[in-house]
Amino acid sequence: MEETLFVQNILGRVGRRAVRVGQMWVPIEQVPDFLARFSKQIFALNSDRDHPYSLLGTATAIRYRGRGVLFCCKHQIKGYDPDDIVIPTDKHGKILVGGTRFIPMPVNDQNRDEEFTDICAFVFDPSKYDVPNFEYGFYDFVERDCWTGSVDSEFILLGYPTRLRNVDYDIPHIALKQVTFRGRYSAASHAVGLHRLQMQRTAQFSTDGMSGGPVFHLGLRDDDHHIGLAGIVMRGSDTSEFIHFMDVQALFSILRFVDTTIAQDG
């Protein structure tokens, strides 16, 4: 239902049958499934035979300068070794892989009270994985397509709510439910880069587990209808129809730090 309403709304906004996502033109009716691959369920490997992994919510996967970069929030992975954080390479979750590098947002005296310091990134070098088309599981990040602050934008959110999953270690069996729904801009927060969206959805569910998930926007530039990255979800609420996201400018900062770190390490 949510996906159907989403498609109908895009059709009403763009008046055409396809929209550009990165370098590809995607038929409108395929957009929800196309974007779904860039919203990842985070797994943490446990040293427990009976409970081999924990599920830590959602992450946003982008492709940047030939590398895969996975964004999530530090509070999601708190207490876990970054080397134990993995994501599935297929929709069935049969193959789990970890990043080749972990890079947290730098914290200093000037920014330590800001919410964007909760962001961290895992870098994936596609050449290190024997997985066909591995890089296509990461959104083709085009800087000019990113959200520039328009409050009239159509927002698209994706993620894996905690209460919509079913895990049974005895079978073993895991069933995940990914959601896609629209958002309407509400207000900017007092925190740098943090914004509030009102969720536009028909089903009711707790947004616990949505942290780290992607927020996309529908953009128009010179008759070029495109879907670009707006930011990542920082937190939601069990009782509110509002959700907070960190805008893409904060992600630019950590991407620059990724470049600097990799250059220094050679």
**Cβ pair 141, 62 in contact under 8 A:** yes
Q: Is the pLDDT of residue 35 over 90?
A: yes
Q: So what's the pLDDT on residue 80?
A: 95
Give the global pTM. Answer: 0.90
**pLDDT value at position 49?**
78
For the segment 158-184, the average pLDDT, to the nearest whole number, is 77
- Give mean pLDDT, residues 55-69: 93
| pLDDT confidence band for 62 (50 / 70 / 90) | very high
Q: Check residue 5 and give its pLDDT.
A: 61
> In this predicted model, what pLDDT tens digit does every residue of 91-140 receive, in sequence order?
666 788 999 999 988 888 888 888 889 999 999 998 899 888 899 999 99
Is the Cβ–Cβ distance between 85 and 44 less than 8 Å?
yes
Mean per-residue pLDDT over the chain, rounded: 86
CB-based contact 204:236 (threshold 8 Å) = no
Shared fold status for 2-36+142-248 and 39-139+251-265: yes
Average pLDDT on 227-255 reads 89
pLDDT tops 90 at residue 254: no
Q: Can you give the pLDDT at residue 220?
A: 81
State whether CATH 2.60.40 applies to domain 2-36+142-248: no
What are the domain boundaries of the chain? 2-36+142-248, 39-139+251-265
Domain 39-139+251-265, classified CATH 2.40.50, yes or no: no
